[in-house]
Amino acid sequence: MSLTMKVYKKLFKLFFLLTLGCASPPKLVVNQGLALGTSYTLKLHTDQWSEAAVENVLDSLFYVVNQSMSTYLPNSDISKINAGQKEIVVDKHFITVYHKATEVWKATEGLFDPTVGSLVNAYGFGPEKGIEQLTDQQRDSLLVFTGWQNLYLSEQGLITKKDSRTYLDFNALAKGYTLDLIGQYFEQKNIVNYLLEIGGELRAKGINPLTQKPWRIAIDHPNAQGSRQLIRTLPLSNQALATSGNYRKYRIDPQTGKKYVHSINPRNGLATQTPILSASVIAPDCMTADAWATALMLLPLAEGQKLIAQDPQLQAYWIVATDQGEEEYFSQGWPQD
């Protein structure tokens, strides 16, 4: 071997070692912002993605979900369907959420129903002004076009409504689905550790690289005054968590002085008093956790406990108002540390 060749080989080896020594170690990239009508935080452990690149990905995925399922955008697919357009071919995201809604609707025998918005508004519990002194006749007229059974999704992706007035709202699933969509994207890019949060719903993968332990999650106390107070923390890894609550909209019964919240029964249109202040669900994916957290706010405690016990992939935690204050209930398998 010539002297020149030996020199080149040594220089190449030195360059290779220097390159290895200068490689950037993985870091925790944090991105925060507003989306889907609420705030979000993403923590991503990576040496491949800059904050700007992560933000571009998030913006793209938020755009896709909004165009499909946002009731706030008049040109979204769901808004066009709600407006009565019949030839809207929905995308794969809409179809996935539709099937999950159907699954939970069946499991709860109709208590979880994404078409109940008209009744919620009529009672004054939604974003629109309610009807003062809602009559039985007015309630029955709203029930005519309320009900998931009034919708049909064809193989071609077309939604058919038995009554054109039926209003579809995926608010109880869309945030969770979006978290799953984001998580799956980064997992395809070989990201093994991340924590995603949108409006209190969470999806966790792997561990927190700063502690080398599962991500640590906090659940808020149902504080009606609006100040934040943590009631419980738990580890979360390769799972999702969603919490639903009406505790900032509770009322006091003038006769008994007891605290309660209202849930609308979509089967009969009646506003039912419930002492359940919040419900949290752990599931393999956030869309499932999101839907079930909403469903548990509607189901009587015993019925909700029974349904959760029947599915080994679900764990739940309830905070219930009592005469003495609040009481906690846990399903089997709920993390206790």
Average pLDDT over residues 32-36: 93
Average pLDDT over residues 38-60: 92
How confident is the model over 115-133, as pLDDT tens digits?
998 887 787 766 567 787 7
Average pLDDT over residues 187-209: 96
Residue 3 pLDDT grade (very low, low, confident, very high; cuts 50, 70, 90): very low
- Which amino acid is residue 126, in one-letter code? G
How confident is the model over 258-276, as pLDDT tens digits?
555 567 888 888 877 788 9
> What tokens appear for 194 in the block?
């991340």
306: helix, coil or strand? Answer: helix
The residues with which 240 forms a beta bridge, in sequence order, are: 203, 283
Containing 140, the helix (H) or strand (E) segment is: helix 136-143
Residue 313 pLDDT grade (very low, low, confident, very high; cuts 50, 70, 90): very high
> What tokens appear for 145 in the block?
């076009």
- Backbone conformation region of residue 297, classed left if phi is above 0, alpha if psi is from -120 to 50, else beta: alpha
Residue 12 pLDDT grade (very low, low, confident, very high; cuts 50, 70, 90): very low
E-assigned strand segments in 108-214: 151-153, 159-161, 194-198, 201-205
For the whole model, what pTM was predicted? 0.86
pLDDT > 60? residue 47: yes
Q: What is the full DSSP assignment across 26-72?
A: PEEEEEEEEETTEEEEEEEEESS--HHHHHHHHHHHHHHHHHHH-TT
Q: Is the dihedral of CA 236, 292, 261, 258 positive or negative?
A: negative
- State the pLDDT at residue 284: 98
pLDDT > 60? residue 28: yes
The set of residues, in sequence order, having a beta carbon less than 8 Å from that of 272 and lying 6+ positions away, is: 262, 263, 264, 265
- State the pLDDT at residue 308: 98
User: How would CATH label the architecture of 83-161?
Assistant: Orthogonal Bundle (1.10)
Paired sense of beta strands 271-274 and 315-322, if any: unpaired
Residue 248 pLDDT grade (very low, low, confident, very high; cuts 50, 70, 90): low
Q: What is the full DSSP assignment across 62-122?
A: HHHHHHHH-TT-TTSHHHHHHTT----B--HHHHHHHHHHHHHHHHTTTSS-TTTHHHHHH
pLDDT > 80? residue 159: yes
pLDDT > 60? residue 52: yes
Average pLDDT over residues 108-113: 95
- State the pLDDT at residue 33: 94
